[in-house]
Amino acid sequence: MIKSMTGYGQGVVNRSGITITTEIKSLNHRYLDIFVKLPRGFGRLEIDIKTYLRNAVSRGRIEVLISIDHTDDCTQLIDVDYNMAKQYYSCLNKLKEILCIDEKVSLQDFLRLGDFIKTKEYLSDDEMWALTKESIDLAVGKLQNMRDREGSLISKDIHARLESIGVQLQAISQRIPVALKDYRLYLQERIKDVFQRDLPDERLAQEMIIYAEKSDVTEEKVRLDIHLKQMMDMLNHNGPVGRKMDFLIQELYREVNTLGAKAVDIMIIESVLEIKSELEKIREQIQNIE
């Protein structure tokens, strides 16, 4: 079953005094592009997250937002870099002396300058990754469910349009021999109007042979039938097929354009236009397929 590239999923894990919330949004993209936004101090998890998601999703722009909230104060430790604090204080006093500033250095001013006070997690990196991964799993599951549902709707729409194209191709096949007869009658009447006499049967046969060769679309129709079958088969494929279908739709366009260039019968031309209309709608849908 094909998958859509658009979807949304959220996963929440609350354990060990920590709540981890993962939100994943998937959008259309030619390739796989993963963007991860993490809380400050958790950038070390980004590589693991991207590596994990590459195994779950093959195409699309994936936007991941992870928030980590501490529901229990005991899950964090305060770590103060006293040496750095002393250096800041010394520099501030030196700056006061150089600039001839009489004001005292307040604790509030002092704290604005440095990041020497940091929080440290009680949990190890492996424990944090395990909880984060669990949250991601929940979000990915919901994301995939949404992509599956939308993919199913897209598949049904494409299937119906492919069947419509098949009907038009059948109509073209049935119309070709009729078009030859119509052209024969047209040619006879036209010659008679212009020259006031009938065209000899031998010459008429030659003209019909030339017309039949120029308007022969057998090769194009055979290739169209093959490509349509391939497209139908891909709708039931479990893996990513978006790029393959995009290639096939281009091939279908090429064959239909050639068929239309050869056609001179108005009914065949109308069928060609209907096919092109359906192909354009299919191409729009394919842009959403993984």
What is the pLDDT, as a whole number, of residue 24? 97
β-partners of residue 120 are 77
- Specify if 1 maps to a domain: no
Q: Do 155 and 104 fall within a single domain?
A: no
Lowest pLDDT segment from 14-23, 46-55, 92-101: 92-101
Residue after which a domain boundary falls, among 132, 148, 164: 148
pTM above 0.85, yes or no: no
Q: Do 143 and 24 fall within a single domain?
A: yes
Q: Does position 199 have pLDDT exceeding 60, yes or no?
A: no
Q: Does position 77 have pLDDT exceeding 60, yes or no?
A: no
Position 164 confidence tier, pLDDT thresholds 50, 70, 90: very high
Q: Do 218 and 108 fall within a single domain?
A: no
- Specify if 107 maps to a domain: yes
Q: Do 128 and 204 fall within a single domain?
A: no
Q: Do 137 and 31 fall within a single domain?
A: yes
- Specify if 178 maps to a domain: yes
Q: Does position 75 have pLDDT exceeding 60, yes or no?
A: no
Residue after which a domain boundary falls, among 115, 140, 167: 115
CA distance 219 to 210: 17
Q: What is the mean pLDDT of residues 185-194?
A: 59
Q: What is the mean pLDDT of residues 20-28?
A: 95
CA distance 213 to 17: 80
Q: Do 54 and 102 fall within a single domain?
A: no
Position 72 confidence tier, pLDDT thresholds 50, 70, 90: low
- Specify if 2 maps to a domain: no
Domain that holds residue 27: 7-73+124-148
What is the pLDDT, as a whole number, of residue 120? 55
What is the pLDDT, as a whole number, of residue 41? 76
The pLDDT tens digits for 94-121 are 877 788 787 777 777 666 766 666 665 5
Percentage of residues of the chain with pLDDT beyond 70: 78
Structure token digits, residue 281: 């709608």
What is the pLDDT, as a whole number, of residue 128? 84
Q: Is 183 helix (H, G, I), strand (E, B) or coil?
A: helix
Q: Do 233 and 222 fall within a single domain?
A: yes
What is the pLDDT, as a whole number, of residue 36? 96
CA distance 109 to 123: 32
Q: Do 42 and 158 fall within a single domain?
A: no
Position 63 confidence tier, pLDDT thresholds 50, 70, 90: very high
Which CATH number fits the domain that encloses residue 57? 3.30.230.40
Cβ atoms of 51 and 42 within 8 Å: the answer is no
Longest dimension (CA), the chain: 120
What is the pLDDT, as a whole number, of residue 172? 86
What is the pLDDT, as a whole number, of residue 79? 65
The C-alpha angle 190, 191, 195, rounded to 5 degrees, equals 125
Position 25 confidence tier, pLDDT thresholds 50, 70, 90: very high
Q: Do 162 and 33 fall within a single domain?
A: no
- Specify if 276 maps to a domain: yes
The structural domain count of the chain equals 3
Q: What is the mean pLDDT of residues 137-159?
A: 95
The pLDDT tens digits for 202-237 are 665 666 556 655 666 778 888 898 999 999 999 988
- Specify if 135 maps to a domain: yes
Q: Do 141 and 109 fall within a single domain?
A: no
Lowest pLDDT segment from 60-64, 211-215, 236-240: 211-215
Q: Do 62 and 143 fall within a single domain?
A: yes
CA distance 4 to 26: 9
Q: Do 142 and 169 fall within a single domain?
A: no
- Specify if 245 maps to a domain: yes
